[in-house]
Amino acid sequence: MNAILAIVLVTQFRYLTRAEIMDSTRPFAEVEWYCDSANVAPVPECPDWYPDYQAGHTYRGMAYEYGGWDRVGQFLANLDNGLRAGSHSDNDCLVGRGDPSWATGQDCSGLVSRAWQLPYKHSTGMLPDISHPIDWDALLPGDIIDWPRHHVVIFDSWADTDHVYMFIYQATDRRPNPSTTARDLRNRANYVSHYTPYRYNYLVDIEENISPENRDVVALVYDGNRLLMKFSQFTEGEAEVGAFDVAGRTVLRKTVRADGTREVEIELPRSGIYFVKVTLNGHVVISQKVIYFK
């Protein structure tokens, strides 16, 4: 159960876990959309534009639009309203910038901007300002691989133990194939010459993997002005509670005996955003963001 509390944020950037980043990324590659004739019709204000898609076909993944960063719902609504499916830097008729008003979709940095839930679109050249370089072998889900002023992708996972092949999410101009956002398998060797791996500065890196059988043995409950940890009826063992602030610093760590009759109050130092992790008998049972008001 989530604690529902109020707080005023002190930064325009959101602190995110890896799970939140990837949950924001996947819908852009998984959305399915029907291309109507209106979505590929000629554009009077841009006679050089031509579509990458065919009317009457259904596609998977958001259309590529240079300069775009539409949300999934916005993209589908724009298609219904007759906007064109995507555009490219060489044919959008807007010299020096993209995101034409008659097109809908997203580009590579638009995908990252939505995945990192940024307050405004960041270009490939701006993304290093809110992230820091990391080693290739340190890449984890939600990190990016960026070539400023050229292209950027989101790292998903390694495809092999030697870290030769990797799965990435990217919005890319892949003509003559349909240009859509997708999860792709790529060889690391094709990126090492020009690209640099980066990690978001506002990432709170705590463990996210919780096995299904452990999800319901402990709950976080906000009761009045108290944050409580409640154990299910038959829970037994030793529970370790850790709480981290948005900078990843440990603000609370305690071990308690778990049984179905106990309620344990989690006292945090001050109002704010925290990440609470509970381990029961060596297994993570809670990895949750809470907004705490004291």
Both tokens of residue 291? 């907004």
Q: Where in the chain is the domain with CATH 2.60.40.3080?
A: 212-292
Per-residue pLDDT for 84 more than 90? yes
DSSP string, 61-99: SPBBBTT-B--HHHHHHHHHTT-EE-B-TTTSS-TT---
Both tokens of residue 277? 């992790």
281-283-288-293 Cα dihedral, nearest 10 degrees? 10
Per-residue pLDDT for 167 more than 80? yes
Q: What is the CATH number of domain 212-292?
A: 2.60.40.3080
Per-residue pLDDT for 87 more than 80? yes
Q: Determine the Cα–Cα distance for residues 282 and 117; give it in Å rounded to an integer.
A: 32
Q: Determine the Cα–Cα distance for residues 274 and 282; give it in Å rounded to an integer.
A: 22
Which residues, including other chains, have CB under 8 Å from residue 59's CB and lie 6 or more apart?
32, 33, 35, 53, 178, 180
pTM of this prediction?
A: 0.73
> Thinking of the domain 18-202, which architecture would CATH place it in?
Alpha-Beta Complex (3.90)
Per-residue pLDDT for 4 more than 60? no
Q: Determine the Cα–Cα distance for residues 200 and 134; give it in Å rounded to an integer.
A: 10
Closest CA to 17 of 204, 193, 266, 194: 204
Lowest mean pLDDT among 8-22, 134-148, 225-239, 277-291: 8-22
Q: Where in the chain is the domain with CATH 3.90.1720.10?
A: 18-202
Q: Which helix (H) or strand (E) holds 40?
A: none
Lowest mean pLDDT among 216-225, 240-249, 254-263: 216-225
Q: What would the mean pLDDT of 130-149 be, rounded to a whole number?
A: 95
Instruction: Find which of 17-21, 93-97, 228-232, 287-291 is predicted with most confidence, using mean pLDDT.
Output: 17-21
Q: Which residue has the higher pLDDT, 112 or 7?
A: 112
Which residues, including other chains, have CB under 8 Å from residue 211's CB and lie 6 or more apart?
283
